[in-house]
Structure 1
Amino acid sequence: MIDFIQRVVVTQKSTMLLESERYTFDVDVNLSKTDIKTLIQDLYGVQVVAVNTHRLPRRKTRFGGVKTRTKRAIIRLKNGDTLPIFD
């Protein structure tokens, strides 16, 4: 189950979103919004209000290869809920 969440995204935009209780993750491309919602709720025990997703473009590597596409999920939690990985 934890294999579906690839990494926590820490960028300037994602740290600004932390103030409004929105957390950003790179997730498996095949997950739907409802799958991501139930995964986060079961894994961390918080209530998810909304899930926004977008797919990042493929990137060229230095030696002519191509990195695969990833899906980024921005998750908004109920007021007062926080994820323990950001405490």
Structure 2
Amino acid sequence: MDIRNIIKRPIVTEKAAVLKEADNKYTFVVDRNANKFQIKQAVETLFNVKVENVHTANYAGKSKRMGASSGYKNDWKKAIVKLKKGQEIQMVDEA
């Protein structure tokens, strides 16, 4: 698996902002097949930082309905990455 395809996008929510400020943790949507080691390697390579640990969570897609048709949103995986002290990722929304 290519490193650039593991991390899809950052999660920018109030809860993610609190985690970043309080514990130096960053939240990303990642590929569903990526494991913690691959996520750690991708973050360290792409952002040039040192990762302390990685927590992951799988989410099932919710059912959605529009008129007579119904379906499901895609399943997805979230990774919470804790960086070592003194490390920081400069996000696009901050710049």
- TM-score of the superposition, structure 2-length normalised? 0.84
Question: 32, 35, 47: which one pairs with 1:32?
Answer: 35
SS at match of 1:84: coil
Aligned to 1:4: 6
Deviation of 1:56 (Å): 1.3
Q: Which segments of 5 or more consecutive residues in structure 1 lack a partner in the other structure? A: none
Deviation of 1:82 (Å): 0.3
Deviation of 1:4 (Å): 2.0
Deviation of 1:25 (Å): 0.2
Q: Which segments of 5 or more consecutive residues in structure 2 lack a partner in the other structure? A: none
Question: 52, 57, 61: which one pairs with 1:54?
Answer: 57
CA distance in structure 2 between the partners assigned to 1:15 and 1:79 by the alignment: 17
Aligned residues: 87
Report the identity percentage. Answer: 34
- TM-score of the superposition, structure 1-length normalised? 0.91
Q: Do residues 69 (structure 1) and 75 (structure 2) align?
A: yes
Deviation of 1:68 (Å): 1.4
Q: Which has the larger radius of gyration?
A: 2
SS at match of 1:38: helix
Question: 59, 80, 88: which one pairs with 1:82?
Answer: 88
Deviation of 1:31 (Å): 0.1
Aligned to 2:17: 15
CA RMSD of aligned residues (A): 1.3
Question: 45, 48, 67: which one pairs with 1:45?
Answer: 48
Deviation of 1:73 (Å): 0.1
CA distance in structure 2 between the partners assigned to 1:38 and 1:79 by the alignment: 18
